Structure 1
Amino acid sequence: MTTKPRLNICVTCTYSAADGKSEPRDGKVLFDQMKSACENRDVPFDLHPAECLTNCKSGCSVALNGAGKWGYVYGNVDAQTMIDDLCELATKYAESENGIVAWRERPDSLRRNVIARIPPLD
């Protein structure tokens, strides 16, 4: 059995680093909305809450990773406007051989939101 790639969503993120006290946290709202969006879809990735991605200055953050794939961290993800685009990106990531989704194939709203690209372990 092959493990699905994972979309990790930071549930402790806030849209503004200055706020930091909103409850529920914006990242938790993003996770919950993404979970609802994926519930009735057969998505090729697992959804996972992450306590902190240490990217606090870049709003809500997510990380994509999978066995033998390059990993990516994206920031400034908006729960109100980017759910469908995030699902599309995670699907393209999961379906890629090495985790690399060409810039032009990424949803417009997420193209410039890459914070880091991490080489695969194997």
Structure 2
Amino acid sequence: MPAKPRLNICITCTASHADAQTDPRHGKQLFDRMTELCADQDLPFDLRPAECLNNCKSGCSIALNGAGKWGYVYGNVDPDTMIDDLCDLAQRYAESEEGIVAWRERPESLRRNVIARIPPLD
């Protein structure tokens, strides 16, 4: 059985709307909230913390990747308002054959947040 695709959340990010860093950082808060939301669900993706996605100018960032799938980096993810949309996006990504989720099928709050699209290794 192939490994599940991953939703990687940068836990060192500071939200783009923040005046200063928080403790814990906004990215860590996002990861913790996603972990809590996903705890009782059998999701088609794994949730992983990432130390840094090197996308600091774009606030809280996440990366989606999976074997044989296009990878994506999203920025400016709001840890207070985008939790459900992020879970929806990750589910659609995991269920897609090549990792491509059509723009109109993405949650509206995340449609314009793509920073990069990375070709699959396979």
TM-score (norm 1): 0.96
Q: Which residue of 2 aligns with 1:116?
A: 116
Does 2:75 align with 1:75? yes
1:17-68: CA deviation from partner (whole Å, max 9, x where unpaired): 762x321000000000000000111110000000000000000000000000
Q: Which runs of 5+ in 1 are unaligned?
A: none
Q: Which runs of 5+ in 2 are unaligned?
A: none
Q: Which residue of 2 aligns with 1:102?
A: 102
Q: Distance in 2 between matches of 1:22 and 1:89?
A: 26
* Aligned pairs for 1:1-122 within 5 A: 1-16=1-16, 19=20, 21-122=21-122
Aligned-residue identity in percent: 76
Aligned residue pairs total 121
The letter of the residue matching 1:106 is R
TM-score (norm 2): 0.96
How far residue 103 of structure 1 moved from its aligned partner, in angstroms, is 0.1
- How big is the alpha-carbon RMSD for the aligned residues of Structure 1 and Structure 2? 1.1
